[in-house]
Amino acid sequence: MMSTHIIDPTKELTFEHLNILVRPGTTIELSDEAIKKIEKCRAYLDKTVKDSVMPVYGVNTGFGSLYKKNIPAESLTELQVNLVRSHACGAGREIPSEIVRLMLALKVQSLSYGHSGVQLVTVQRLIDMFNAGICPVVYEFGSLGASGDLAPLAHLSLPLIGEGEVILDGERISGAEMNRRMGWEPVAFKSKEGLALLNGTQFMSAFGVYCLMQARRLSIYADRIGALSLDAFDGRLDPFEDLIHIIRPQAGQRRTAEAFRKLLKDSEMMAREKKHVQDPYSFRCIPQVHGASKDAIRYVESVFLAEINGVTDNPNIFPDEDRIISGGNFHGQPLAMALDFLAIGLAELGSISERRTFQLVSGNRELPDFLVANPGLNSGLMIPQYTAASIVSRNKQLCTPASVDSIVSSNGQEDHVSMGANAATKTYEVVNNLYSILAIECMCASQALSFREEKTSPFLQEFADNFREKVSFIDNDRIFREDIRHAEEFLKEYTLNSPI
């Protein structure tokens, strides 16, 4: 169903809005207030450029360490075009279309506040591209996470002037061909526009927003699959009793324990007499570990909500105050540190998941070795645990923080950078890896449950039955790569309803 999101600078952009934005077919448009703010700011900047002979960074000067070079009025348009061209030097893989679409929407949001000095026609062209499903080709590397996401945003902006490349209806075409097919004229940049487009944190923000959307989903799955594993392992519910968590008032910990009590309500397995006094930490300490990740996700969400509801280019224009101020809102340090934290939180969900997988396949608690009826002749789920272990190790490597690094650039003018773009892309990899790790645990938990006479809770049984439609019971060895792929697809496509 088609829907339209109104970009309004007077209203907060929320994750609920973002969930609408990423749906296929969603369109965006500016509110009347946004149009007024954009036009007012541009008119103020035009008057300032015309009336003043004073240098204003990025408006009538060079960029970076070239800020001392004054640019004559007749060359201001050329200055902005040259900026976009020269900064379009991305490298590495092309980033996914869902990230590019978020970049477009978040760039429009930032420009809508009327502190950037762009023309209305420039913002409208970004909107037209989003609404037509046009995705500029943007590359993984080229941003230091300060002075804005320069190279990625340059590639995002090239099609506005009929250059660069885009994906339109699945076909890779030039920016010039895009204009021809759409019947558009290239945008004629005015002063500061190239800088407004390139200065900003939309590459980091788009990756972060996407990762947070998946993090919410993955956190729910970690609880659900963890509960399935706990039941299949014949684990105890005692560590999830509320009394324990009241006396250590960590919010995520208590929420996790509550979730497990509800997930396992009316489980026959959980109700049966237990032979074991304690469970391994990967089961017993789920509230503490999953809860810490929940708290990390919640904190990172607060950072990104502040970011996407703000202005991150430079210089900032304040028409009512009659001021143009050069500052550093493009610096990605808040995002870089938050993304590093998010990567750690998600990696830990994968680390404890792999330990539960290990316990399930180890022949403990009356379960067969590697969860097959005839181990020896069959290796069963021995090697999927290896795969999970290799991915967990990779995630640990990816959790080396990017935000503690900085390399001097622009001839020393940009002497401290955030490396937030690298934090963003590695967190994205952690997210995708976590789907694989949880998919393997889900395979093992559902397989283990099949060897039990008692049933799990009605809620989890329905979840396991739906999973079984994608990944059937394993009687004998087969090519498990296909099972892992199907399990991943299930986790990405399944409609999450919750007992909470």
Asked if 252 and 290 count as a contact pair (C-beta separation under 8 A), the reply is yes
Q: What is the pLDDT of residue 276?
A: 93
Residues 257, 173, single domain; the answer is no
Q: What is the pLDDT of residue 412?
A: 84
Where does a domain end: 200, 215, 247? 200
Helices H, strands E: what count in the chain? 19, 9
Q: What's the token pair of residue 400?
A: 């080396």
Strand runs labelled E in 274-413 = 316-318, 323-325
Residues 149, 258, single domain; the answer is no
Number of domains in the chain: 2
Q: Beta 4-7 vs 27-30: how paired, if at all?
A: parallel
360-409 pLDDT tens trace: 999 999 999 999 988 889 999 999 999 999 999 999 999 999 999 999 99
Residues 332, 479, single domain; the answer is yes
What's the whole-model pTM score? 0.95
Which active-site residues does the annotation give?
57
CA distance 461 to 455: 7
Residues 131, 196, single domain; the answer is yes
121-124-125 Cα angle (round to 5):
90
Residues 225, 176, single domain; the answer is no
Residues 176, 226, single domain; the answer is no
219-244 pLDDT tens trace: 999 999 999 999 999 999 999 999 99
CA distances from 131 to 25, 26, 159, 363, 424 (A): 8, 7, 15, 55, 25
Tell me whether residue 428 is in a domain. Answer: yes
Closest CA to 331 of 425, 412, 208, 421: 421
The CATH number for 335's domain is 1.20.200.10
Asked if 463 and 224 count as a contact pair (C-beta separation under 8 A), the reply is yes
Residues 235, 96, single domain; the answer is no
The CATH number for 113's domain is 1.10.275.10
Asked if 345 and 354 count as a contact pair (C-beta separation under 8 A), the reply is no
Residues 422, 398, single domain; the answer is yes
Q: What is the DSSP string of 376-414?
A: TTB-TTHHHHHHHHHHHHHHHHHTS-STT----BGGGTB
Q: What is the pLDDT of residue 499?
A: 57
Tell me whether residue 348 is in a domain. Answer: yes
Residues 123, 265, single domain; the answer is no
3-state class (DSSP) for residue 166: strand
Where does a domain end: 165, 200, 235? 200
Under the phi-then-psi rule, with left for phi > 0, alpha for psi from -120 to 50, and beta for the rest, what region is 416? beta
Tell me whether residue 500 is in a domain. Answer: no
Q: What is the pLDDT of residue 58?
A: 64
Which residue ranges in the chain fall short of pLDDT 50? Answer: none
Residue 30 lies in domain: 4-200
| Residues 6 or more apart whose Cβ sits within 8 Å of residue 487 | 439, 440, 442, 443, 467, 470, 471
Residues 148, 219, single domain; the answer is no
Q: What is the pLDDT of residue 110?
A: 97
Residues 338, 279, single domain; the answer is yes
Q: What is the pLDDT of residue 372?
A: 92
